Amino acid sequence: MPKYKVLLSYPMEDKPNMISILNGNGTIVKNITQQLEVTSGPGTNNRTLFTPYTAYSMNGTATGKLIYINEGNKVDFEELDNSSISINGSIVLSRSFENFYPAAIMAAKRGAKGLLYYPDPNKFAREGMGENSTYPNRPWLASDAVILAGIYGRFGDPETRLMPSVDGIRRITFNDAKDSLPILIQPISYGTARMLFQRIDGDAVPFKWRRDLTSTFRCDQNYTKNNWTIKLSINNQLARKTIYNVIATITGREEPDRYVFFGNHRDAWVYGAADASTGTSLLLETSRVLMKLVKQGWRPRRTIKFCSFGAEEFGLMGSVEWLEENSYIFKERGVAYLNTDVPVQGSHTLLAQTSPLLMDLIYKWIRQVKVPVDEGRNESMFDVMMSRGPASSIPGYPQLRNFRYLSDFIPFYFTNGIPSADFSYFYNYTKEGDFELYPTYHTQEDTFYWIEKFADPKFEIHRSMTLLMGGMLIDLADSLIIPLNVTRLKDALRKAYFALTASSSPLIKATLVQQHISALNRSLVKFSSQCDSFNSEILQAKVSDKVDPLKVRTLNNQLNMLGKAFINPRTKSDNPAIVQHVAFSERFNGVLNALGKTNDTSEIQEQLSIVNVAISSAAKILKSIEIVSQE
């Protein structure tokens, strides 16, 4: 149980955050206390005090006109700018939970004092906002549900950046007025948002923004009927807390120094039945079954580590600190990480986020594991994904996604290069071919009642997800050759190259940049050729009548090292301490970031060089190693 002392952010239950409506004289007309009593489901008498807040929001008080900013994305702020609407000195209101962090950054740059954000009922209450259409009668969010999140833009303990938060490590002072965004932030329900909208008169809001709660309200500071303002008071508190990870280990027999990780986080914003208790149930069930096998005499070829991380919701605290403490060991020994954060949030189809090396292993197991599609009929996950999921760029295969939803795989993959994957069975709808989070995400309505009533009444998806992830875990830990497919990595790198050369940036045409791109292409050709040769070696080792243990060990060492070649701390990133991977999501992100944020071709050349070295090193890693006979 490794423990870490980290800085967390909490609301003050005896002094909850407050929204006050003031009239033209500055007199409080109405106080909206951000606190309510909640239960874990209908018929439950045990009531809990729920104090909504945004972790790490700056504390203080701000007063200003309320201005609606739609989703608060770049296009919305451009719409305000084009309409000559200033948000300087205001409190802004956004209907987007998913976009609230970048919205807060852009609003702060334009002088806003505070941000209120609420769950868009068009997404989270699709059947209407009445009692009969929402929780607990239907799966959709009720009008008083509030989505919680954190605003701390980094990962890990704010006081020990890049170092584990253990005894003997220097701590830096975290000042919420300096280190937080210079803006007050508070989540509210769409019921509270509706009440605020009703006090905004006029018809100045862009027509395309009127899809929300009322058709007549303004988004500027020129109210005519009510000269009222909003006073936002944030009273959060920072507290240094001891958190624990729980790590269980089954030591491997032949390769005990090779680690396969299987884990998720244990904490939740409120009840957290889907996020992340469904993952904890999979973790516990898988460990129970494998320990039963161990008692019967079985041991995996490689070491398995079951991981239950603490304080993930605050910024991946448990996993980041553990990786920071053990980075040198895990980077050398880590084979793969399987993440089971929210494995069950519905019964529609599977979303698998993965790095390329694990794709074929996933395809293998989703063909074998079946799930219910209707009463009395099951189909393989593979077939369900083909019929219900978004279209794939690989003909004949369902779509496997690049990483989109953040979780504890971040420090494993993006900082240490350990091949990783994350799995979640999504709720029963997609929008425009894309996935959307389940309605009660991060709210007080993410309860066991909701899971049992609406997501997986017979817990059949839970069983299927356990079979899926348990099967992959055993394959990774017990196969003679580690089941990582280098061809998928080759394909992903080639796609990243094409995405780069298709860039519209004029800088890409510069002579020196083109020279580096040509060199990069040559390295890709060498890597592709080496992948083909390496695949032939693996095939020969698998079909050989006599297995050479040293050859197997050599091949596995090469596979284990391959992903680590793509980690470089000089990769240009918005979060360079964590995101050090030079090629993910089928993009050379450091290069594309440099193209988008500088006119200096020297920085672009540097990022191209970093990618070139990574691919060249990967080719050298896969180069055949001669085994000298001892006879």
Interacting residues of 14 by C-beta distance below 8 A, sequence separation 6+? none
Q: Of 575, 568, 573, nearest to 618 (Cα)?
A: 568
Q: Which SS3 state, helix, strand or coil, does residue 471 take?
A: helix
HSE value, Cβ hemisphere, 13 Å, CA-based, for 578? 22
Q: Where does residue 547 rank: exposed (0-12), middle (13-18), buried (19+ CB within 10 A)?
A: exposed
Q: Which of 79, 312, 324, 586 is catalytic?
A: 312
Strand 91-94 versus strand 255-265 pairing type: unpaired
Catalytic status, residue 324: no
**What is the spatial distance between Cα 223 and Cα 315, in angstroms, rounded to a whole number?**
39
How many residues appear in the chain?
A: 631
Q: Which SS3 state, helix, strand or coil, does residue 67 take?
A: strand
Q: Angle CA(65)–CA(70)–CA(75) in degrees, nearest 5?
A: 115
Strand 149-150 versus strand 54-55 pairing type: parallel
Interacting residues of 328 by C-beta distance below 8 A, sequence separation 6+? none
Question: Look-up: residue for tokens 């987007």?
Answer: 96
Question: Look-up: residue for tokens 């938060």?
Answer: 165
The 3-class secondary structure across 300-347, one letter per residue, is: CCEEEEEEEECCCCCCCHHHHHHHHHHHHHHHHHEEEEEECCCCECCC
- Rg of the Cα atoms in the chain: 26
Q: Are 258 and 302 in contact (CB under 8 A)?
A: yes
The DSSP line for 375-436 is TTEEEEHHHHHHHHSPPPSSTTS---BPS-S--THHIIIIIT---EEEEEEE-S-EETTEE-
Element (H, E) at 603: helix 601-622
Six-digit token pair at 626?
């001669």
**What is the spatial distance between Cα 406 and Cα 410, in angstroms, rounded to a whole number?**
7
**What is the spatial distance between Cα 427 and Cα 161, in angstroms, rounded to a whole number?**
36
Q: How far is CA 494 from CA 106, 288, 355, 402, in A?
A: 34, 41, 15, 15
For 529, phi and psi rounded to 5 degrees?
Answer: -65, -40
**What is the spatial distance between Cα 459 and Cα 105, in angstroms, rounded to a whole number?**
41
**What is the spatial distance between Cα 462 and Cα 454, in angstroms, rounded to a whole number?**
13
Question: Look-up: residue for tokens 């018929």?
Answer: 43
Q: Of 337, 363, 376, 369, nearest to 462 (Cα)?
A: 369
Cis before 276 (ω within 30): yes
Q: Are 350 and 363 in contact (CB under 8 A)?
A: no
**What is the spatial distance between Cα 387 and Cα 478, in angstroms, rounded to a whole number?**
32
Q: Which of the residues are catalytic? A: 312
